[in-house]
Amino acid sequence: MTDSRAPIHLRSAGVSVVVVPSPEPRILHWGGALDDSDIGALEDSSTGGQAYSSFDLPRIFPLLPRERSGWSGRPSLAWHRGGQFSDPAPRLAAIERPDAETVVFRYADAAASVDLTLRLDLFGILHHSIHVSAAESTDPLDLVAVRAVLPVPAEATEILDFTGRWTRERHPQRQPLGYGAHVRENRRGRTGHDSAFVMVAGTPGFGFRTGRVWAVHTAWSGNSELAAERLPEGAGVHGAALSSGELLLPGEIRLAPGESYTSPETLFVFSASGLDGLSARVHAWLRFQPAYPSAPRPLVLNTWEAVYFDHDPARLGDLARLAASVGVERFVLDDGWFVGRPDDRSGLGDWVIDPDAWPDGLGPIADLVHDLGMQFGLWFEPEMVNPDSRLAREHPDWILSTDEDPALWRHQLVLDLTRREAWEHILEQMDAVITRTGIDFIKWDHNRDLHAAVSRATGRASVHAQVEAVYALMDELHTRHPSLEIESCASGGARVDLGVLAHTQRVWASDTNDPIERQAIQRWTGLLLPPELVGAHIGPERAHTTHRSASLGFRMATALFGHAGIEWDLAECTDAELDALRAWSALYRELRPLLHSGTTVRADLSGTANLLHGVVAPDAGHAVFAWVQAETGPNAAAVRVPIPGLDPASRYLIRERDELTSADPHQVLSPAWLDGPLSASGAMLCEAGLPLPVMNPGSALLLEFVREPA
């Protein structure tokens, strides 16, 4: 226990979080770095005046805001014991400082017999979690809500969050932060195509490069809620509150004496330099996590759009040879390899190799792929079951629904992995295929929402337990196969969150490979995820999902800025296309160390015609940018565009990398500087910029910046 009255100052990477412990712990500051010598004045000025028609004391905003503490917004805690003790009254019992980045507040609610721990860790971003333990009592403790709530200053008056649908995930929506609550609830049982993803509150007009922003993300793959809430009386001396938590279903978390619940971790991220600053903090943190992949990201070929369910070993062998010939490093066999799976109407749940499609098993294709120098990946959808499967026929009780006739979605139902016997059955089936075949990578899919996910074993809502069971299954497979990598896919990008990324090595951001759609999806997925964790594939000229055509150059330039791959039947390609893919894979390998370790940079441009995004090396000595013409714009000739993120004090040699694509001009001549290398200072590039060409819609220009010797 530390001195219970001394303020606690967590400080890391330009961020300060100051908490004063008494009369009960409350945040004095979450934002830019302060000096220890500032804390006294901060504390002395920590209460506002007393409002008309209000409490007889100035309001404060504690770490656990709730009605009893005078907060009339969404409370941090809501529970009851058999209808009683519905007024949480946690009192601080102890404060622990296990290390300089961490503070743990221990509380007890004696009346309700509840012990509670709130933990904050600041590693540039603030990690917040709450642990609730039910002590001795005759009645179980029903949890209604456990939320992480933090105040944001009154200058944060605009909010950004996300929505989406299949093939259009993480689409931004912005609005003023008005009075009341802006709440995004996810009741889909998975993260969802329309996930709010992250909720950002910021200063008016904040952008990628400008503005002060405060953001919140729930690191969880089940039901969840994010909210920004602003009340006329403020939040203590702050303007509004951001909150995050698991959305608990009725009766879902009922704690017997001695049982406990830990909230999913919430990430709170402050940036004084706009959304790029926010991304830089999260990317840096993710790159140090245990689940972060340790090897360079191999160039992928995924078979889905090449063959769909048509698994012909000879054809797939030819595809593997072609893949190796263009430089692919990981060959992934998608859906269709297991028994009873001629299409998507049957087979899920039976993870046994189909003897009709693969009479010799998967061993020969895996061996061929390995002999060609590639890794072998395989598709699974472990949480799902088709009614037309052996598993569903033998174990009807393993369906996660108490509805006798549950609604199908892609002809499938959810398997109740909270049942130990079901979990073990799937684990052993997967383990057998992985071990016998030599699987290096799993594409882990999840193709439906969970609806009324009540376990037949317990009669209880089971989304929380299902998510925990899935994470545990992933972890067990990693333990048994330490070099195995897992991709989180869910009908494209419906399970993209930092919860699942603690157990997986990449996400499939979307089922669309249309580069126009992908530019937007990758840009916004990149708000939290660094490029190397985001699968980005080249599809055929005419995208299967939108039927829009795009040049190969544009498709290649788009896929370059991710964990790159191909999702195309290479047998259809002309020799010229195969040569272009070879040049692309060589460029990917050349630039991969930069693209997968650097800082993601996005320019703030007016209008939607162009995007300028790039990756700058940590020492700013090297950078690659893409200038993208997504649609036609109002400009007839090139105008100067500032190039952000370079070192103002360095000089750079700038050249077009035209191996994949060169400026496809929509003007008689492109700017002359593109013809030869140009030398310019980072200051000039940032302040004045370069005239970037007007191009035909659906094209990209790649620019490389290399620091010149001093």
For ligand GLA, the closer of residues 491 and 662 by Cβ is: 491
Supply the minimum distance, in Å, between the C-beta of residue 304 and ligand GLA.
Answer: 5
Our finding on whether 492 is near ligand GLA (CB under 6 A) is yes
For ligand GLA, the closer of residues 380 and 524 by Cβ is: 380
Q: For residues 117 and 133, give the distance between their C-alpha atoms in angstroms, rounded to a whole number.
A: 9
Half-sphere exposure of 521 (CA within 13 A, CB side): 32
Phi first, then psi, for residue 69 (nearest 5°) are -90, 5
Supply the minimum distance, in Å, between the C-beta of residue 334 and ligand GLA.
Answer: 5
Q: For residues 669 and 646, give the distance between their C-alpha atoms in angstroms, rounded to a whole number.
A: 27
Our finding on whether 445 is near ligand GLA (CB under 6 A) is yes
Our finding on whether 449 is near ligand GLA (CB under 6 A) is no
Supply the minimum distance, in Å, between the C-beta of residue 405 and ligand GLA.
Answer: 24
Query: Which listed range, 261-269, 322-330, 486-494, 518-526, lies at the site for ligand GLA (CB under 6 A)?
Result: 486-494
Our finding on whether 514 is near ligand GLA (CB under 6 A) is no
3-state secondary structure of 81: strand
Tokens for 485, please give them.
């990598």
Of all residues in this chain, which one has the CB nearest to ligand GLA in the complex? 335
For ligand GLA, the closer of residues 492 and 526 by Cβ is: 492
Q: For residues 641 and 709, give the distance between their C-alpha atoms in angstroms, rounded to a whole number.
A: 25
Closest CA to 449 of 170, 251, 254, 165: 165
For ligand GLA, the closer of residues 494 and 595 by Cβ is: 494
Supply the minimum distance, in Å, between the C-beta of residue 305 and ligand GLA.
Answer: 8
User: Strand order of the sheet with strand 15-20?
Assistant: 8-12, 15-20, 26-32
Of 447, 522, 600, 661, the one binding ligand GLA (CB under 6 A) is 447
Q: Where are the alpha helices (DSSP H) in 265-411?
A: 274-286, 304-307, 313-325, 363-371, 390-394
Supply the minimum distance, in Å, between the C-beta of residue 344 and ligand GLA.
Answer: 6
Supply the minimum distance, in Å, between the C-beta of residue 566 and ligand GLA.
Answer: 13
Q: Are the beta carbons of 230 and 239 closer than 8 angstroms?
A: yes
Strand partners, 130: 118
Q: Are the beta carbons of 9 and 44 closer than 8 angstroms?
A: no
Supply the minimum distance, in Å, between the C-beta of residue 512 and ligand GLA.
Answer: 10
* 125-134 and 114-123 strand pairing: antiparallel
Query: Which listed range, 70-78, 127-135, 178-186, 487-495, lies at the site for ligand GLA (CB under 6 A)?
Result: 487-495
Query: Which listed range, 33-41, 274-282, 489-497, 595-603, lies at the site for ligand GLA (CB under 6 A)?
Result: 489-497
Of 117, 491, 504, 600, the one binding ligand GLA (CB under 6 A) is 491
Of 392, 417, 489, 528, the one binding ligand GLA (CB under 6 A) is 489
For ligand GLA, the closer of residues 118 and 489 by Cβ is: 489
Our finding on whether 304 is near ligand GLA (CB under 6 A) is yes
* 254-255 and 102-109 strand pairing: unpaired
Which residue type sits at 26? R
Binding mask 353-382 for ligand GLA (x = CB under 6 A): --------------------------x---
Residue 32 CA, distance from chain mean position: 24
Supply the minimum distance, in Å, between the C-beta of residue 156 and ligand GLA.
Answer: 36
Q: Which residues are catalytic?
A: 445, 511
Of 158, 335, 416, 497, the one binding ligand GLA (CB under 6 A) is 335
Hey, what long-range contacts does 361-368 have (CB within 8 A, 24 or more apart)?
A: 361/436, 361/437, 362/333, 362/337, 362/433, 362/437, 363/436, 363/437, 363/438, 364/313, 364/317, 365/313, 365/316, 365/317, 365/320, 365/333, 366/437, 366/438, 366/439, 367/438, 368/317, 368/320, 368/321
Query: Which listed range, 3-11, 195-203, 414-422, 485-493, lies at the site for ligand GLA (CB under 6 A)?
Result: 485-493
Number of residues near ligand GLA (by CB under 6 A): 11
The binding site for ligand GLA (CB under 6 A) comprises: 304, 334-335, 344, 379, 445, 447, 489, 491-492, 511
